[in-house]
Structure 1
Amino acid sequence: METLLFHEIVKAIDGEILKKTTKEQFDSVIIDSRKITEGCIFLALKGDNFDANEFVIDSSKKGAKLCIIDNLCFSLKEVAENTSIILVKDSKKALLDLAEYYRTKLNIKVIGITGSTGKTSTKDILAAMLSEKFKVFKTKGNFNNEIGLPLMIFQLNDSYDVAVLEMGMSGFGEINNLARVARPDLAIITNIGVSHIEHLKTRENILKAKLEIVNYFSEKSSLIVNGENDLLSTLSSNKFDLFKIGLDRNKNTFATDIEILPASSKFKVVTFNGTHEFNLNMPGEHNILNTLLCIECCELLGMSFEEMEKGLNNIERTSMRLDIVKGDKFTIIDDCYNASPDSTKAAIEVLASFKDKRKVAILGTMKELGEEAYKHHESVGKHLKKNNIDILVSCGEYGKAYFGGFEKENNSFLFANIEEMASNISFLLKKDDVLLVKASRSEKFENIVNLLKSLDIKGE
């Protein structure tokens, strides 16, 4: 983090100085009082079950030299002598405002990535490609919301050339706030599905919310979208450059000669600059589309195909996203970080690519689907049937919906909960099975993956 001065901070967050010491310069922002470092800024946030303002005294004694608060629930006399205190109306807003100001001090290209699914994989692919030519920062883990993204911004400094920032949301206004902070020069929308439809009611509203990513575009900014998505394919703009990728010649960048294998894929890309064959160490057509988005972005930043290809060798994939683990007894496709209808169907297609093996789908609930949840789970069941998946194992409130679409009663196994599934799943498996494990994050299906990795097969 580059240095922030005390007077800059006060102005950026519209704060009231309650206590001022001699320290004028700060180079780190921390929101977790357990991680206080000497000389840091401690920004006290309120959560549903906690109020970090209650930890200000302790944080000052641990070494925080500036505390930003929105609740004076302590005596200033108890604060360490060399700690300044600034009061704001809303600490969460102050976090966003301070990060927005800090962004203006940086001479760095920012690329924002949003979409219903595929954000993290696209981030990983793009950061790897760009790393061949630039020093790249990318969002760590799931720091993609109104708290996580500002913390990522504070980790930037002018030693980086490019920042690849993931932007998530659950409702209107959130992407707008993230775009206000990050001010992306380039933006990518991976697709528009039904994730968060419980809150936004229609896919058209989801598109509208995702398009908030362009709200702070300059005249030199560009948006890159997946033109294979029905809603994104109809986009047009006279306010900024719009580029579409896909699988046909009507797109700015498109793929031909596609070959999809169980653990990888191969394709030729055609762009304005020519043609090149790419080998991708990731399975699935959806990852080819994600890669096309990245190729378009890299071209806009002046990279050659050869540089992109070399960069792909540096890919660092986020865990629990289509991780293929080959064991002595069976192969596990670990895709349990999260789940939506679109991402689950894509994972099923990867499972189906394993030929001459018995294919087992182990599925849990997909969250935030609202009133149409049953229909969407049933559609996934139909996709299992369409792709000739052999066995369905499920638990949760929509297990019957999966089964209704799958229509293979003798090959369907429903458990009341994940604990019952864990106790019985070993009896359902056979040597050399290929197992897909997928559910929404809150279902904790990584416990099933860990069990499978150490499991003795008790079936035939």
Structure 2
Amino acid sequence: MARFIPAQLQTWTDGLLLQTPEAQQHSERFYRGISTDTRTLRSGEAFLALIGENFDGHKFVDQAIAKGCKMLILNEKSEQAMQLYYDLLHGKEIPDLLLVQDTLKAYQKIAEGYRLTLLAPVIGITGSVGKTTTRRMVGAILNTQMKLHQTSNNENNQIGLPLTLLEADDEDEVILAEMGMDRRGEIKILSEVAHPDIAIITSVGYSHSEYLGSRKNILEEKTDIISGMKSNGIVLINGQDTHLNAWATSFKGTTTVWRICNEYEEIGSDFENFPVFWAENLKIETGGTSFIAKTTLDPEVAWPVKIKAPGKYLIRAALFGLASAYALGLDMDLAVEGCLKFTNTGNRQRIVQKDGLILIDDSYNSSPESNTAALDTLSMIAGPRRKIACISAMRELGKYAEDLHTNIGYRIADLGIDILYLVGEESKWIEAGVRQINPALKIKTFPDSASIAEDIIDIIEPGDCILVKGSRSFAMEKISQKIEVQEFKF
């Protein structure tokens, strides 16, 4: 766990350090860590008071002092800072004070300063979809040979990323830092805090179009991950993404771009100068996914890969992990074994088999790209089985919403889905897309997921393959939960 001395924090934040005369005499004085939450604050730590839309950490200064914090990092204009400064001038015993202009920026500067003291390489992961799955897969692969520290839960924003870095220690050999955003400029901030040695860009999709306006803006935002990269770093990009490919061909910088392609056909003659990792002999079944991994960096070698979960989207995640292992000089045979240790989190294409049914629970979140991937998984796993899809509307798509929902409708019709359940106002465009290609497809629209859950139980037949896919705001997990607890008597 990190330890900090007063002068270190003052230098990184460019803040004003104030101490009692007694504290100034202790040259070996240190703090056991940085906390932003008095509920988990440990005695001996520094407490940094963040300010958000619905909270102000300065209101918890008294609790921080009562729990034994050794330093308070406060906004220089806050009432609490003024009162403590007054107390200090009048000889009252108080923790060390570090007064800064902006506590969030100070938090990020502390995390950046600490990161630069660490020897462990940082792998930054961003993209419109697939960040968490990719991080977990890369982690499973690297953890076969390296002591790993990585983002926990969804700590991937301007507060979560610094927390990830500050929780690392000297013994960690690699750090995986997930980087999310919903406003322009955030990835640049995160990159300049984490200074990645390797950057992974999973995709440039339409998520957050409502805020960023266009895919061009989203591309610029995602590729800003290189802004804080160390010189001679490596950027791993989705080689099937046309926007990233166009960016790669025009990119000029000290970092090297490697392309990750699901299949050899995706490589293309225009990219012969880019190192490539790709997959051959793809096989996806309910029991898992398998393929042969290859790279132009070592053409004579092939690595057989097995993953205990089904899904075409997992192939690229595994290739990102194997490319990272290769870049770090690891034993690739051991790295491949890490794919078998991968487990997904949350309701991300979770497979449940019961009473002769197959349920694909992908109710964690939704986007055009993840919807397409989920539908493809349904098609591949179902085979000749009857296919039922429960799909919610998608959010934050801005001006692209109608076209993107319509495209999902086209995909559903092309894949031969037998019964389609829809929920959400925007799902009317999915239905319109389906009707253009397959007017006879049975579509049932409901106002909420609970209503779908009640209805679907009555129409399920032996052997059905059912996909539940949707945004968390629609609580699509209620459908999966209903199916799982139901005792079917076929």
TM-score interval w.r.t. the shorter chain?
over 0.9
Point out where structure 1 has 5 or more consecutive residues left out of the alignment: none
Partner of 2:54: 49
Return the letter of the residue paired with 1:197.
S
Equivalence map 1:302-451=2 (5 Å): 302-328=329-355, 330-353=357-380, 354-407=382-435, 411-451=442-482
- Give the greater-gyration-radius structure (CA): 2
Distance in structure 2 (CA, Å) of the matches to 1:396 and 1:379: 16
Most deviating of 274-283 and 444-453: 444-453
Q: Deviations over 1:395-451 (max 9, x none)?
A: 111121222222356621111123433444433433443222222233333333333
Identity over aligned residues, as a percent? 32
Cα distance in 1 for residues equivalent to 2:326 and 2:290: 19
After TM superposition, give the deviation of residue 14 of structure 1 in Å: 2.0
The structural deviation recorded for 1:113 is 0.9
Q: TM-score, normalised by structure 1?
A: 0.93
> Structure 1 stretch 315-324 or stretch 442-451: which is displaced more?
442-451
SS in 2 for 1:299: helix
CA distance in 1, matches of 2:68, 2:483: 45
Deviation at 1:275, TM superposition (A): 1.6
Quick one: distance in 1 between partners of 2:446 and 2:285?
32
Asked if the contact 1:426/1:456 (under 8 Å) is kept, the reply is: no
Contact 1:377 1:402 in 2 (8 A): yes
Question: Which segments of structure 1 move beyond 6 Å, counting only runs of 4 or more?
Answer: 77-80
* CA shift in 2, pair 1:64/1:451, >3 Å: farther
CA contact (8 A) 2:305 2:339 kept: no
Question: Deviation per CA, 1:172-227, whole angstroms, max 9, x where unpaired?
Answer: 21111111111100111111111111112221211111111111223321111111
Contact 1:141–1:318 (8 Å) recurs in 2: no
Is 1:60 the counterpart of 2:51? The answer is: no
Partner SS for 2:228: coil
Deviates more, 1:248-257 or 1:365-374: 248-257
- Matched with 1:186 is 198
CA distance in 1: counterparts of 2:468 and 2:184, whole angstroms: 31
Distance 1:66 1:442, change over 3 A: farther
1:243 to 246, 254, 258: 258
SS of the residue aligned with 2:59?
A: helix
State the shift of 1:34 in Å: 1.8
Choose from 199, 206, 213 the match for 2:218.
Answer: 206
| Change in 2 beyond 3 A, CA 1:207/1:413 | same
For residue 272 of structure 2, what is the aligned residue in structure 1? none
Match of 2:125 in 1: 113
Contact 1:57 1:78 in 2 (8 A): no
Give the TM-score, by structure 2 length: 0.88
Determine if contact 1:284/1:350 at 8 Å carries over to the other structure: yes
Q: Matched residue of 1:35: which SS?
A: coil
Q: Partners in 1 of 2:418 and 2:18 — Cα distance?
A: 66
SS in 2 for 1:258: strand
Deviation digits for residues 115-136 of structure 1 (CA, Å, limit 9, x no counterpart):
1111111111111111111111
* Deviation sequence 1:360-418 (CA, Å, 0-9, x none): 21222211100221221121122111111222112111121222222356621111123
2:279 and 2:292 in contact (8 A); partners too: yes
Give CA-to-partner distance per residue, 1:249-282, whole Å, 9 cap, x none.
5562222222222342222222222222212223
* Aligned-partner Cα distance in 1 for 2:481–2:61: 39
Question: Could you say which residue in structure 2 is the equivalent of 1:276?
Answer: 303
Residues 330, 78 of structure 1: alpha-carbon distance in 2 compared, 3 angstrom cutoff: farther
Secondary structure at 2:315 match in 1? helix
Shift of 1:18: 5.1
Report the secondary structure of 1:435's partner residue.
Answer: strand
CA distance in 2, matches of 1:265, 1:173: 37
Rate the CA distance shift 1:266–1:398 in 2: closer, same or farther, 3 A.
same
Task: State the shift of 1:283 in Å.
Answer: 2.3
Matched length? 459
Query: Displacement of 1:457 after TM fit?
Result: 4.9
| Counterpart residue identity of residue 355, structure 1 | G
* Unpaired segments ≥5 residues, structure 2: 269-274
Which residue is equivalent to 1:253? Answer: 277
1:219 aligns with 2:231: yes
Larger displacement relative to structure 2 (21-30 or 269-278): 21-30
- Does the aligned pair in 2 maintain the 1:262–1:350 contact within 8 Å? no
Task: Single out whichever of 446-455 and 239-248 deviates more from structure 2.
Answer: 446-455
Q: Could you tell me how far 1:157 is from its partner in structure 2?
A: 1.0
2: CA distance, partners of 1:104 / 1:163: 12
- For the residues of structure 2 that align with 1:325 and 1:90, how far apart are their CA atoms? 48
Q: Deviation per CA, 1:293-328: give whole Å up to 9, x if none.
A: 222221111123311122223223222211112233
**Root mean square deviation of aligned Cα:** 2.3
Aligned partner letter, 1:13 = T
AA at the equivalent of 1:388:
G
Alignment of 1:94 with 2:94, yes or no, is: no
Residue 172 of structure 1: which of 170, 184, 188 is its match?
Answer: 184
Tell me the residue number matched to 2:16. Answer: 16
Aligned mate of 1:39, from 37, 40, 44: 44
Does the aligned pair in 2 maintain the 1:339–1:438 contact within 8 Å? yes
Tell me, in whole angstroms, the C-alpha distance in 1 between the residues paired with 2:475 and 2:245: 35
CA contact (8 A) 2:356 2:463 kept: yes
Cα distance change of structure 1 residues 202 and 40 upon mapping to structure 2, 3 Å threshold: same
Mapped partners of 1:352, 1:310: distance in 2: 28
Letter in 1 for 2:172: Y
SS in structure 1 at match of 2:313: helix
